[in-house]
Amino acid sequence: MSINPINKIHFRNWRGDLFGGLTAAIVALPLALAFGVASGAGAIAGLYGAIIVGFFAALFGGTPAQVSGPTGPMTVVVTTVIATLVQRYPDTGLAMAFTVVMLGGLLQILFGVMRLGQYITLLPYTVISGFMSGIGVIIILLQLPPLLGHEGSGGVVTTLQQLPTYISNPNWIAVGLGLLTLGIVLAVPPKLNRIIPSPLLALVVVTIISVVLFKDANIARIGQIPRGLPSLKMPTFSIRELDDMLRYGLMLGVLGAIDSLLTSLVADSISRTQHDSDKELIGQGIGNTLAGLFGGLPGAGATMRTVVNVQAGGRTPLSGMIHALVLLLVVFWAGPLTAQIPNAVLAGLLLKVGIDILDWGFIKRAPRLSLKGTGLMYLVLLLTVFVDLITAVLVGAFIANVLTIKRLSDVQSDNIQLITNSSGHEELTPAEQEILTQARGDILLLKLGGPMSFGAAKSISRRMSLVQNYHALVLDLTEVPNIGVTAALAIESIVEDAIAHHRYVWIVATSPQVRWRLEQLNLQRFQEISQGENRTQALESAFTLIQMGSLT
C-alpha cells in the first residue's frame, strides 16, 4: 500500500474550511506569540512555526481537519534545547537548536516511512497521563518568573532554586497584568468564547490596559517583531554536541508524533473521519523540518485549535492551510501591534495552557483505580519534570510492560493444568475420564490454554517439576492459538526430560502457528514422540502402550 503524498484537498466545503481556518488562526495567534517568547527564540519564531508546520502538516498529513502548530509539550523540549545550546555556544547555539528541530522532523518522516504510526500511541494511559501532566507542571513552573516580572531561567531546577528570590522581589504591575489575563481566560463564558476566543480577548484587553495605565512602567514587553518572510537557517552541527543533538531530535520527534497522533484521535471522534497515522507522521515531519530550516518552533497537532476548527466548520486540510496563511498576513502587518504585549500577559496565557494539560480527571481518580497505576503515573510525572521526556516515557513504558507481562503470566498460569486423574475435570469427555481413571496416574495430561508467551514458560516448568511418577505424557495444545519462542523451548525441555526418563510423549495441536513452531524445534528427531490433532486418541494410544507393558 503506497502513501499518497498530498492530503485529500477539495473545495466542496470551502465556506466551512474558511471559517474554521480563520477561527483557528485567531486562537493560534496569542499562543504562537506566547510559545515563541517562552522558548527563548522570540515571538516571531512561534509565528513562523505556526505558519510553516500548520501549512505543510495540513498539505502532506493524514488527518483532514487537524490544525498543527507549536504546542506546550514541544515548546517545553525546545526551550531546554535552546537554553542548553545557547549557553554552551553563544554564537551558534540558536542555529544548532533549529538544526535539532530539523532532526526531529526528519525522524518523524522516517517513522512514517517505516509505518510506525500504529505503534507510537500504544502506550499505557498511566504513562501518557504522567508525562502530559509533567509537561503541564513544567509550563506552570517556567511561567512563574515572567508572571512575577522577572526574566525566565530556561530550566525547571534553576527556576525552583531562584523562585524564593522572584517571590520576595515581585513586579506588582506584571503580577497584576498576568493574573488579570489568567482570570479572563478562566472566566469567559462559553457563549462569548465561541464568538471571541478567550486567549485573544485577554491578550487584547490586558495589553490595552497596560498601554493606557502603565505605558511608562518598568515591565518587559515583546518588542517589535520582524516583518516579512523568514530567512534560511542552514544546519549547524558541533561534533562534541552531536550525541545530545541527536537525543534532543529524537525527543522532539517522538513527542511530536505522540502529541499529533493523540490529537488525530480527537479529530476522528469529533469529525467522524479516519486518519492515516503514517501519513500524518510524514506531514508533521515535513512541517517540522521546514520550520527548523526557516527558524520556526517545532509543532504538532494542536487539540484546542483542531477542536475549534471543526466546530467552526473546518473539515478538510484546506482549513489548516488557511489558518497558516492568515497568520502569515499577521506577520506582514501586525508587528507594531504586537510590540506592546507584556510578557506577563503571555505568561498568564501559558499558565492556562499548563493547567489544561494537567490530567485532573485521572489524577483525582487514579488512587481509586489502581495504586500501581497511580505510582507509575507520578513516577513518570517526576521524571518528566526533573529528568527528560524520553527517559520518562521509556521508564514508564518499561515498568508498565513488566506489570502487564506479570498479569498476563498469571492468567496464562491459570490455563496450565496437570491432570493425572478424572476427578474435578468436567471439561474432559467421559471416555477421557475413564482412560485416566484406569491409568491410575501413569498418564500425565498437560493441558494448556490461551496464548502462551515467555511469561508462561517458568510456570510450565515449575508445574512439571511437581509431578515425577508417570509413564506417558500427553501435551494438549488444542486450545493454544499461538505460542512464543520461550514457551516453545520450555515445552521442548519438558519433552526432552520425559524422553530422558524413558517416557513416551504425545503432542496434540491444531493451530497452524503452534504446529509450525513445534516443527521448527525439530521434535521429530525423537522416535518417542507422536503428534496428532485428537486428545482422546492420544490418551487411548498411551493407555494401550501402558497395558501392553511398553511404558513400565
Residue 1 has pLDDT above 50, yes or no: no
The angle that helices 277-293 and 43-60 make with each other, rounded to 10 degrees, is 150
> What percentage of the chain carries pLDDT values higher than 70?
93
What pLDDT is attached to residue 518?
83
Q: What is the structure's pLDDT at 283?
A: 96
Q: Mean pLDDT across the stretch 393-417?
A: 82
Residue 2 has pLDDT above 50, yes or no: no
Number of other CB atoms surrounding residue 175 within 10 Å: 16
Measured between alpha carbons, how far is 213 from 56 in angstroms, rounded to an integer? 42
Distance CA 8, CA 6 (A): 7
Task: State how far the Cα of 62 lies from the Cα of 318, in Å rounded to an integer.
Answer: 13
Question: Tell me, what amino acid is at 223?
Answer: G
Kindly report which listed range (4-13, 104-113, 302-311) carries the lowest average pLDDT score: 4-13
Q: Over the stretch 191-232, which tens digit does the pLDDT of each residue have?
A: 888 788 889 999 999 999 999 999 888 898 888 888 888 889
Contacts of residues 366-371 at CB distance under 8 Å and 24 or more positions apart, as own/partner, are 366/126, 366/129, 370/126
Indicate the CATH number for domain 415-548: 3.30.750.24
- For the chain, the structural domain boundaries read 14-145+158-221+234-403, 415-548
Tens digits of per-residue pLDDT, 257-295?
999 998 998 888 888 888 899 999 999 999 999 999 999
pLDDT in tens, 14-70: 888 999 999 999 889 999 999 999 999 999 999 999 999 999 999 999 999 999 999
Compute the mean pLDDT over every residue in the chain, rounded to the nearest whole number: 87
Q: What is the pLDDT of residues 506-523, one digit of tens each?
A: 999 888 998 888 888 887
CB 552 within 8 A of CB 546: yes
- pTM higher than 0.85, yes or no? no
Residue 476 burial class via C-beta count within 10 angstroms: exposed 0-12, middle 13-18, buried 19 and up: buried
pLDDT tens sequence across 318-333: 999 999 999 999 888 8
Residues contacting 151, CB < 8 A, separation 6+: 145, 220
Tell me, what's the pLDDT at 5?
Answer: 61
pLDDT value of residue 157: 86
pLDDT at res. 297? 97
Contacts 24+ apart (CB under 8 A), 406-412: 406/455, 408/453, 408/455, 409/453, 409/455, 409/456, 409/458, 409/459, 411/450, 412/450, 412/451, 412/452, 412/453, 412/455, 412/456, 412/459
Average pLDDT over residues 163-185: 94
Confidence band, pLDDT 50/70/90 cuts, at residue 420: confident
pLDDT reported for residue 61? 93
Please give the DSSP secondary-structure letter assigned to residue 339.
T
Residues shown for the chain: 552
- Stretch 532-543: mean pLDDT: 84
Residue range 96-149, pLDDT digits in tens: 999 999 999 999 999 999 999 888 777 888 988 898 899 899 999 999 999 999
pLDDT reported for residue 282: 96
Task: Characterize 452-474 residue by residue with b for buried, 16 or more Cβ atoms within 10 angstroms of its Cβ, and e for exposed.
Answer: bbbbbbebbeeebeeeeebbbbb
Is residue 228 helix, strand or coil?
coil
pLDDT score at 457: 64
